[in-house]
Amino acid sequence: MAQTRTIHSDPTQNETSHEDDLLCSNPQQNQEEQSSSSSEVDVTTSLIGSPGKYLSGESRVERAWAHWNKLGRPKFMVAPMVDNSELPFRMLCRKYGATAAYTPMLHSRIFTENEKYRNQEFTTCKEDRPLFVQFCANDPDILLEAARRVEPYCDYVDINLGCPQRIARRGYYGAFLMDNLPLVKSLVEKLASNLHVPVSCKIRLFPKLEDTIRYAKMLEDAGCSLLAVHGRTRDEKDGKKIRANWDAIKAVKNELRIPVLANGNIRHMDDVQSLLEETGADGVLSAETLLENPALFAGYRTADWVADNEEGNVVGKLDQAELLVEYLKFCEKYPVPWRMIRSHVHKLLGDWFRIQPHVREELNAQSRLTFEFLYNLVNQLRELGVKVPLYQKDTSAAQNSAEA
């Protein structure tokens, strides 16, 4: 049976007026295995010692690296994505090369107050490691209360300091806390002084590089053990039109003593390797590209990133429809709200729907999804002759060329 970790509530609380907010199976069907999993969690596997309130700066840096090394120095990360980096999708990406993952951003206040929200938005299992659990927050005490609920089940508690969306402006969190650095510092210090797991942060750039470096150093001094840097500013929201600034990420990496992760401009594994080499970062995060291609870290790429005159790419053994079927099987094992599943179906099959738009219309007309409907939808596309391959580098051709 599935070994899933959730924080339980009365199953009747999952009733909602919107079909897509329902879990994709009855929570009561999974209560037995969830309870079993809860009792089996080995809390010690995620602890790195006592809270850090009495540690010197040097000791904190040493502990940050000791923890990172203990995790195996993972390089390929599933970035935090609202409604999209949930457990089944994380498990699919891990199967295809991701070596660590973030949860979707969780709202710290709602997480502490609402049992139904905790049940639906945070699930994990013993194979779901290393794991970053990300919160948005603007109150240190509320953030700590939320973090304490998840620290036995993760490897980092992460603070979202990078969300640039309007909802973050209205809620006063994410990148909009860049205007209140004393508050940001207090959030990090509160967790670093009271949690047993390390604190990580995910940030965006200031327009001026020196401000970004000053910001990153402040976070490190406050107790941040790992920093993920998105190479765009708060105002640079369109990742498809605005290139991420790898030079700025490199500058931050050179100034900090803790592990640094890089985020931005990842389309395929060539970009991953280039980003690691050019910035010196300790790992790479991917978001949007993974949504269309969860096998990114296994070396697959979509046709969008295969140039017409580029040699050395061959049709791979996987396509997005097969990846969707695997994702749905993970959802049957680890139930999540249908709205998340619907979003992934659109992302994974977007190119397929453009060839047969009436199939998309059938999906959109379905107010209540079922697994049977979605499996049949994939079969329907195949019967209509739709083929949208993923590509891989032809390693045999490269090897033959090198030998010649």
Which residues are part of the catalytic machinery?
163
29: number of Cβ within 10 Å: 11
Number of H helices, E strands in the chain: 18, 13
Helix (H, G, I), strand (E, B) or coil at 117: helix
CA separation, residue 396 to residues 227, 389, 390, 392, 402 (Å) = 38, 19, 18, 11, 10
Give Cβ neighbours of residue 366 (< 8 Å, ≥ 6 apart): 373
Instruction: Give the whole-angstrom CA distance, residue 119 versus residue 354.
Output: 35
CA separation, residue 6 to residues 41, 63, 99, 102, 118 (Å) = 11, 29, 22, 16, 8
Could you tell me which of 376, 378, 353, 348 has the C-alpha nearest to residue 364? 353
